[in-house]
Structure formats: structure tokens, C-alpha cells
Amino acid sequence: MHALRLPETWNRFFIYTIAVASTFSIALSDSATAGLFIVGILQWIKHPERGKQAPWLFWGILVYIGISMLSGWFSPYTYGVQEGFRDNLRMLTPLILFFALDDVDKEWLLKVFFVFLALIAVYGVIQYFTGADWFRSVENQSPTPYKHPCFARYGFTNVFHAKGNFTHHLTYGGVLVLSFPIFVSLSLCTAFSSKWRWIYSGGAAVMLLGIVASLARSIWMGSAVALFVLAWRLPKKWILLLTGVGVLLLGGMLWQYTIKAPSLDQPVSGVGVFWQRFASAFVLRHNQDRLLMWEAAGDAIEDHFWFGIGLNNDAEVMPRYRDPISQRTGHKFFNSPGAGVHNIYLQTWINLGLLGLLAYGAVWVLFFRECLPALWSRAGPAVEFQQALVWGACAGITAFLFGGLFENNFRDAEVQVMLMFIMTLGLHSARQIKLKNKG
């Protein structure tokens, strides 16, 4: 009897470990994922019918990984097939986690997950004001002060990018922008007591403050998109009101900082940094680095249209496209060639070619194809909790995909772990709703 329940126990242990470790330790997350794979593969062997029960998304993931390896095979540069497989291993997580979630009480899982996310959000807000880096040894501490848009004149400001226990504020922001919509959605779920709805509301607000403190503009924009998606759960009058306010604010910013275009060349401190950081997104000269990276990306794509250059070859290949631009414009790029082009779609096209880009897009099309019908299920209160999870997962991933227009943190290990976790929560909940509708 105990032997029969052993896989369930290990599944619960590894899933809770992933939920907790995803907020602070990629090594522990990967170790738990490896354990989950060992148990899961044994369960797949024992239950081969799982192949027929798996969502079509799983096959989309396998095709994407296959094309990544094919791109490496055709690449004439240093890194090849092994990077196409190794760098995408975490994308296999949903194949195992999807079935393992049957062994977990998701309400309790989310409560534990919520506590650790709220803690790193609070930590990020503290970091914004102090640059604290408490969880690293003194010699390894690396606070990240915010650079003034006119760095040559004013240097660093007196505030810092929030980045939690991660190495970069975009990693921190990527983890939070994927996960905070889950708790916004749960705060609207009437299946919970008013106490828990208020707790989730307060925690989601703290997570939003952490996102603001990251000073990552792409994450801010993604968060706004997530809230817009979740607004569709509200009465129509609220949707119209929020949409109107959003359009007016965006229009005002475009007028003030693009058409009218006053100078941002002023020293700022404190909360004034938020306004200046947001405003600088609408002034082209303050985004020249990213625009020229995209120009270099276009040149690289033209030469490697179908199969790309392969993964991890950017440092070797991209200087030949960036150097002529630097010579022509006099611009010195802020980031090294290996850091990517700050757009996951262009980045995927560079690395994996058009075939890889289409496969990457197909993964997300298949995800939404699986989840969207569950959003409007008429099964009633019996599936309200599951629907809240599907709404949160869809909002978080939509935010992530929108933010990908300006960043490529899909390649960050910590963000990938969170992405696969949130994706699978949505898929599993959508399946439960589907089964309830059939029943």
C-alpha cells in the first residue's frame, strides 16, 4: 500500500520545492525538477496511455526543441545540437508536471507559493531604497543602482533596481509578472472567503510594488497588459472605465514625451525616478541602443533566414553586424553581443531561423487554444477556482509575451522555471474544467 502511494508523495515534495525555490534558487528548482522527471518517467512507463491524454501543446514543445537542435546541426559556428537540447530541457517540465499536479492540493500549493512571492516582493521594495543584498556573501554582493538616462552627465541615481535574490532586475521582474496575475485573479474568486480574497489582494499589490521597484519598463508594460486581461472578469462598465483611463494616460504620455518632447535631461531622485523612467520609453533618443540592436538583428536574420545561427553563438556572430553600425553612428552598445537584442521574437529568429520562430509562436497558440475555452465554462461554482487559475495563467503569459517585444528573458533559467510552472497550472486547471463539463 505504501509503495503505491510513494510516487504521489515524491510528486508533492518536488512540486512544493519548485514552487518555493523558484523565488530564490535556480539550483534547487532544477534539482527538484530532475527528481520530478525521474518519478514522472517511471509513471509514464507504467501508464503509456498518458500520451493520448496529453494536450497538443506537448507536441508543440517537442517540435520547438527539435527545430532548436536542427538549427544547431546546420550552424557553422561553435555551438550546435547539444545547446539546442540542453538549453531547452526546462521546456519539457509540463510533460511531467501536468500529470503530477493530480497528486497535489492546488489551493495549499498556491498559499505556500504566495507567501514566498510576497516575501521577495517586499525584499525588492527594500532594495529599491537601500540596495540591500542580504543573501549573498559580502564579496559577492552586487547592488544595481539606477543609471540616469543622461549617464555621462549625471551618473547613477540614489535608488536601485529591485532584483530580489536574482542577478538581474529583468529576471526578478519576469518572475513576478508571470505570477502576480494568479493572485489578482484569485482575489476576484468568490469561491474563497472574503479574508483570503483580501489577503491575495494585498499580496498582489505588494508584488506590483516589487515590479515597479524593478524599474524594468518592459515588465511595467507587461503588468499593465495582465491587468487589462483580468479586467475582463469585471462588469462591463468597469472595463470601459479602465480602458478609457488607460487610453487617456497613454495618449497624454505620447503627446508630452514624443510629439511635444520636452527634455528629460534633468537630475532626479526618489520617486521622480519612476516618472522619468517611464517617460524615457517614449523618447527615441533614449532608446537608441535597443533600436540599433534591432537593426543589427535584421542584418543577421537576412544572412541566416531559415535556420539561424544556433543557440549561444551570439557572442561569436553578432559583432560582425554591430561593429559597422557603431562605426557609422558612433554609438557604443551598452550590452555585450552575447546579451542578445532585447526582443525575444527577433532573438529567436536570429538563433533558430524562421522555422524556430514559427515553432515558438505555435507553442503559445496551442497553449491558448487549450485554455481559452475554459474561461467561459458554464459549469458554475464547481469550477470557479480552476477558472481563476486559468485566467491568471493566461494573463501572466500574455504579459510575458508582450514584454518579450522589448526583452529576451525567456532565456533566463529562473524565468523559464516560472513560465513552465504557470503554464502547467493553467493547462491542468483547463483540463479539470473540461472534464467537469463532460461530467
Residue 82: which residues within 8 A CB-CB, separation 6 or more? 72
Question: In angstroms, rounded to a whole number, what is the distance separating the alpha carbons of residues 304 and 420?
Answer: 29
Classify residue 152 by burial, with Cβ atoms within 10 Å: 0-12, 13-18, 19+: exposed
Classify residue 306 by burial, with Cβ atoms within 10 Å: 0-12, 13-18, 19+: exposed
Domain with 410 in it: 2-438
pLDDT at 32 over 90: yes
- Contact (Cβ atoms closer than 8 angstroms) between residue 171 and residue 417: no
Residue 207 amino acid letter: M
- Predicted local distance difference test score (pLDDT) of residue 257: 55
- Predicted local distance difference test score (pLDDT) of residue 350: 97
Instruction: Look up residue 431 and give its three cell numbers.
Output: 483540463
Residue 31 amino acid letter: S
pLDDT at 185 over 70: yes
Could you count the other beta carbons within 10 Å of the beta carbon of residue 174?
Answer: 31
- Predicted local distance difference test score (pLDDT) of residue 419: 97
- Total of domains in the chain: 1
Q: What is the pLDDT of residues 254-284, one digit of tens each?
A: 666 555 555 566 676 666 677 777 777 777 7
Q: Per-residue pLDDT averaged across 84-96, rounded? A: 94
- Predicted local distance difference test score (pLDDT) of residue 283: 72
- Predicted local distance difference test score (pLDDT) of residue 238: 64
4 pLDDT band, cuts 50/70/90, is very low
- Predicted local distance difference test score (pLDDT) of residue 164: 93
